[in-house]
Amino acid sequence: MSRKVLDSKGSALIITLLLITILTGLVVDFVYDVYIETSSMSNWGAAQRASYIARSGHALSAELVESVNKEPYTDQRELVLPPWENFGPGVSLLVRITDENSKFNINNIIMDNGKTAPDAYPALKKLFEYLNINPNLTDTIADWIDPDSEPRLFDSEDLAKNAYLWSLDELKLITGIDDRVYNTISPYLTVHGNSKIHGDSEIKININTAEIPVLVMLHPDMTESLAKSIIEQREISPFKERQEVLNVSGMKTIGINFGGRTVVKSTMFRVTARATVNDVTRVIESVMDTSAKIKFWREG
Ligand SMILES: [Ca+2]
């Protein structure tokens, strides 16, 4: 996401958001006053209002994400909109937009024909090694996804789904992936941008926004020090074309291709809008492309 976009559109959008929120708040309060008198129902009113506020935050994010398309490149991995706490006592909204193109699509380790992908699979293993996570877990994940029931490890096909992951937190169903492992690997992984699951074109990794672990996994010869050099370079000047990465010392031998996996402009974003009204919290999580087309929606 370009900072320019937020600077120029941010204040107008915040006013829009406030108006939407105040209006929906009034409607809900009105309904509340007319129909509801018991204290147990006041939670319902708070929940409804929180849900409307979260939806407002989501609508605001959709406008920001759409505006990314006008920019030639994307250089911001995450945007946390300033929290709005001036709705009144006990009401708040927090919105976070994350670039899905900064992550690796874990479904890519298994190809359409059900075979193991010769480049993406070792890349995932390299990520796990870099993060000090048992790399054998990548075998269990591959068996979980691949259509056959031939175990790579003695128990790695037990209860396997044998299909692509639909949401990333399905990983928690896999033996050996506890909260610690999941919390370590999940910031670098996505399931979005896969023609089989969500009807998207293939997602590629944005070298302007990928963090060190993802840059390291991109190529067998990538090192942490090279990844740091890439980040230093893009902080001075974001990559406007992929070939500019060759200006980073040591990158000429690796090249710009990374197996055709990289881009400089992002196409897919995750939006998390968390609204709280009187201790009742509603969270909307979605993934959308730059035309604000929703690929994934979850409300809780
Ligand atoms: Ca399998």
Q: What is the pLDDT of residues 170-228, one digit of tens each?
A: 999 999 999 999 999 999 999 987 655 555 567 789 999 999 999 999 999 999 999 99
Q: 124 alpha carbon to ligand 1 midpoint, in Å?
A: 17
Q: 112 alpha carbon to ligand 1 midpoint, in Å?
A: 13
Asked if 77 and 209 touch (Cβ cutoff 8 Å), the reply is: yes
Alpha helices in the chain (DSSP H): 3-35, 39-68, 120-130, 137-145, 179-185, 212-217, 224-236
pLDDT in tens, 91-100: 999 999 999 9
Q: 92 alpha carbon to ligand 1 midpoint, in Å?
A: 44
Q: 197 alpha carbon to ligand 1 midpoint, in Å?
A: 17
Supply φ then ψ for residue 213, to 5 degrees: -60, -35
Q: State the Cα–Cα distance between residues 292 and 59, nearest whole angstrom.
A: 9
| pLDDT tens, per residue, the chain with 300 residues | 444 444 445 555 666 666 565 555 555 444 444 444 444 567 888 899 999 999 989 998 998 888 887 889 999 999 998 877 777 888 999 999 999 999 999 999 999 899 999 989 999 999 999 999 999 999 999 999 999 999 999 899 999 999 999 999 999 999 999 999 999 999 999 998 765 555 556 778 999 999 999 999 999 999 999 999 999 999 999 999 988 998 998 888 887 777 678 899 999 999 999 999 998 999 999 999 888 888 889 988
CATH architecture assignment, domain 104-263: Orthogonal Bundle (1.10)
Q: 172 alpha carbon to ligand 1 midpoint, in Å?
A: 16
